[in-house]
Structure 1
Amino acid sequence: MVTPHDIVLRAAPDADDAYVAAFADPEALLAAAGVSTPLRVAHFMAQVLHETAGLTLSIESGRYSAKALGRMWDSGNWRRYFADRAACVAMAGQCRIDHGVALFSLVYGNRMGNGPPETRDGWTYRGRGLLQTTGRGAYRRFGERWGVPFEQEPDLVRAPAHALKPALGEWQDKKCNEAADHNDIARVTRCINGGQIGLEDRQRWFARVWRLVIGAPPAENATAWQVQAALIAAGFDSGAPDGIVGPRTRAAILAYRAARQLPPLPTITLDLRRSLGLR
């Protein structure tokens, strides 16, 4: 099976050097956390790649524009912190000045282990690293678990030697391996995000990573192999791709067809391939 480090090199060509080094994983942290099966690796990497914009983002940016703040208000995320939409959008002026210090101190204040806005904990402990570790409480908890002073030195969360540690701690605490074993990306996303924000992008990353994980299809069974891989990427369990259309694959085909309102045939046909995005 292709390694997570290989996936980084092939799927994230612009990845931050610190992340590339972290995924070399000399301590075998991924294996110790059980992120070692094809599905677990693919789901973990899909979440990480989404959260970090293809491993290019190492710390949460506070450079919010008025348009972006308006979207945050419209989504309902920050309504409790501002009197109205206009007040939320007006924060963009302050973000241009302090790059988000006031904003994060406010919206992350008095929660996640942070003190009130005047402590600036919300800014100090804003999202960092592979799964955007956020809040003084999380920095303290993962620091105690791994014996690393994340609370005292927050930027260690994104350091090559430690970047995997808080991410894998969160992954294990939220039982993401179990959700990955069921190939349930919506459930994995809820565990990581608390909702379904960015689900479509996470699905796109999963589909891309899954192709790398399973490798190239064998020439003698290319169509069946690709269909099985595409079914799994779409959330329909056809078993590990092997190019053999057995009972499990036929059941997945029928379930997929029912969900997409295609004719109920347990076979690979042109309409199925087109629906799955295959030629």
Structure 2
Amino acid sequence: MTVLELKAVACTTTENAQTFLPYLNDTFDRFNILTPCRQICFMAQVSHESGGLFYTEELASGAAYEGRAGLGNIHPGDGVKYKGRGLIQITGRANYKLLSDALEQDFISNPTLLGGKNIKQCTPDQLKYAALSAGWFWTKANLNAIADKINLLQPIDEGANLEYFKAITKRINGGFNGLEDRLHRFIQGYLSMKTNQTPSQTTAS
């Protein structure tokens, strides 16, 4: 993915796209997000969750997650400590532990390694893990398989394509919050990629 393509799909600034591009390209390689359709789907979702590659930590305090056993928050203070971080908002002690095992980093002891408020306040390591954590979640949810069903030669916002895109959204969001914005980002990303690739290269089959 190029800076221009990333800027388009993320609906972000050139500066933000340039900052995150190397970390995202590493994420694509590590988690096999390599076809145009996989990358556009991934970035449409991730850029919505992060406010255009800006936020790497949710704005709320995390207190609402306190005592949520389903998230693994079994100790006092876990809700705030393990609030949503990374480009796709990894949340809860249990997910931080799974991510720690997968990436071989101790996010339990150092949860802010996943993100430092926003792109302006992140260290290079925080940017790296903000991106990698999103790729890990994407793979854990088996979203490449759904993205592969989308036909880039058909509109994304109708028919089977829309149902596949909604399925991806639901696995990430738990519902369909921000669906229109996510679709908009997908369309912008596709149009940008289309200017540089032939239809056969942008087909997800």
**Cα distance in 1, alignment partners of residues 24 and 43 from structure 2:** 18
Once residues 5 and 141 of structure 1 are traced to their aligned partners in structure 2, the CA distance between those partners, rounded to angstroms, is 31
Q: Secondary structure at the match of 2:88?
A: coil
Aligned with residue 114 of structure 1, among 60, 73, 83? 73
Q: Is the 8 A contact 2:37 2:202 kept in 1?
A: no
Task: Kindly indicate whether residue 139 of structure 2 is the aligned counterpart of residue 182 of structure 1.
Answer: no
Q: Secondary structure at the match of 1:140?
A: helix
User: Given residue 105 of structure 1, which amino acid in structure 2 is its aligned partner?
Assistant: A
Q: Which of these residues, 156, 164, 174, is aligned with residue 131 of structure 2?
A: 164
Change (3 A) 1:4 1:156: farther
TM-score by length of structure 1 reads: 0.57
Post-superposition shift, 1:120?
1.8
Q: Which moved more, 1:48-57 or 1:161-170?
A: 161-170
Structure 2 residue aligned with 1:47: 45
Aligned position for 1:59 = 57
- Aligned match of 1:191: 171
Cα separation, partners in 2 of 1:199 and 1:15, compared to 1, 3 Å: farther
Query: How many aligned residue pairs are there?
Result: 177
In the alignment, which of 82, 86, 102 is matched to residue 129 of structure 1? 86
Q: Which amino acid aligns with 1:114?
A: N
Partner of 2:96: 139
2:87–2:134 Cα contact (<8 Å) kept: yes
RMSD between aligned residues: 2.7
Structure 2 alignment gaps of length 5 or more: 116-125, 151-163
d(CA) in 2 for partners of 1:179, 1:33 = 15
Could you tell me which residue of structure 2 aligns to residue 13 of structure 1? 13
- Distance in 1 between residues matched to 2:136 and 2:202, nearest whole Å: 30
Do the aligned partners of residues 164 and 216 (structure 1) sit closer, same or farther apart at CA in structure 2, a change above 3 Å counting?
closer
TM-score, structure 2 as length reference: 0.75
Distance, in Å, in 2 between the alignment partners of 1:9 and 1:241 is 18
Note the 1:33-112 alignment, pairs <5 A.
33-62=31-60, 100=61, 104-111=62-69, 112=71
Residue 194 of structure 1 and its aligned partner are, at CA, apart by 1.8
Please give the secondary structure, in 2, of the residue aligned with 1:122: helix
Compared CA separation, residues 121 and 31, structure 1 to 2 (3 A): same
SS of residue matched to 2:38 = helix
In structure 2, which of residues 168, 180, 186 is the aligned counterpart of residue 200 of structure 1? Answer: 180
Q: Distance in 2 between matches of 1:202 and 1:214?
A: 18
Kept after mapping to 1: 8 A contact 2:6/2:189: no
| Deviations, residues 1-43 of structure 1 (Å, cap 9, x unaligned) | xx16543345410765xx7544313983312311110100100
Q: 1:185 to 1:160 in 2, by over 3 A?
A: same
Q: Which runs of 4+ in 1 moved over 6 A?
A: none
Sequence identity percentage: 27
Q: Compared with structure 1, are the counterparts of its residues 15 and 171 closer, same or farther at alpha carbon in structure 2 (3 Å cutoff)?
A: farther
Residues 15 and 55 in structure 1, CA contact (< 8 A), matched pair in contact too: no
| Structure number with bigger Rg | 1
Gaps (5+ residues) in structure 1? Answer: 63-99, 219-224, 226-238, 243-279
Mapped to 2, the partners of 1:120 and 1:14 lie a distance apart of: 38
Secondary structure at the aligned position of 1:23 is classed as helix
Partners of 2:189 and 2:168 in 1: CA distance = 15
